[in-house]
Amino acid sequence: MKRPCRKSRKHSFTLVEMVVAMAILVVVATIIGTASAAFYNGWQRAVKYTEKLKTSQAIDRMMDQCVRNLIPFKWRDENNSERFVFEGDYDSLHFTTLRRSLPGDRGALLFIRLRLEDGNLIAEYSEYPRLPWEEEGSQEYTREVLAGNVKSISFLYAEKNSDDEIEFLDVWEEDDHEAVPLAIQLTVEWNDGSTERWLRRTAGASANSTYGRRQTPTFGD
């Protein structure tokens, strides 16, 4: 006796099942999208902080290794007068620093200029005397970009006044001083509106000494 053949029944999704499936897909997509966005934002923050750290380290290195070792080095000008190789303006700094002399170097002195150019904090180096009073472009130097996205820079120069108190000047007039500043402060204003400051005491800050020669104070009887 033959059994009657059963016809196969095709199962189709109901509307409720389709809605549930779509809801699950939306939830999964939302979770993936949120996780991806969080990862991308975290990566962007990491890149930003890394760049900021590199910039801070570059400026720290300049202030710690160069400005901190600033010395009162003199050179004769076109009138055969001895002048400090130093120029402190409101928005630029030209100075001589003492460094460790390594094999292949041309000496232990390094002549540096800091200034702002096209939104970048620029350091210009020269192993030969680079004199502030000579014409721009007449001397060779090596350039380095210390920081970008800079809106402005400014310097302050510390000295002792007649009351033996420390005061800061925005311009260092050579004729008014017998030495280099006691300390120098660099202020950097970034394009995002934030501001950072670096303050370092200089190596050649003593009022009783100059590079290569020390004056012995005379005491009364």
Domain that holds residue 146: 62-212
For residues 59, 63, 65, 68, the Cα torsion angle rounded to the nearest 10 degrees is 180
pLDDT of residue 210: 44
**Token duo for residue 39:** 């990862």
Structural contact between residues 158 and 167, judged by C-beta atoms closer than 8 angstroms: yes
Residues 164, 155: Cα–Cα separation, whole Å: 22
Kindly state whether residue 52 falls inside one of the protein's structural domains. no
CA-based nearest residue to 188, from 144, 151, 143, 145: 151
Kindly state whether residue 45 falls inside one of the protein's structural domains. no
Amino acid at 39: F
Amino acid at 211: Y
pLDDT of residue 143: 93
User: Residues 157, 159, 160, CA angle at the centre, nearest 5°?
Assistant: 160
Kindly state whether residue 29 falls inside one of the protein's structural domains. no
Kindly state whether residue 53 falls inside one of the protein's structural domains. no
Kindly state whether residue 69 falls inside one of the protein's structural domains. yes
For residues 117, 122, 127, 128, the Cα torsion angle rounded to the nearest 10 degrees is 20
How many independent structural domains does the chain possess?
A: 1
Amino acid at 183: A
Residue stretches of the chain with pLDDT short of 50:
207-221
Q: Does residue 18 sit in helix, strand or coil?
A: helix
Kindly state whether residue 165 falls inside one of the protein's structural domains. yes
CA-based nearest residue to 172, from 96, 163, 182, 164: 182
pLDDT of residue 105: 64
Phi–psi pair at 173, nearest 5 degrees: -85, 120
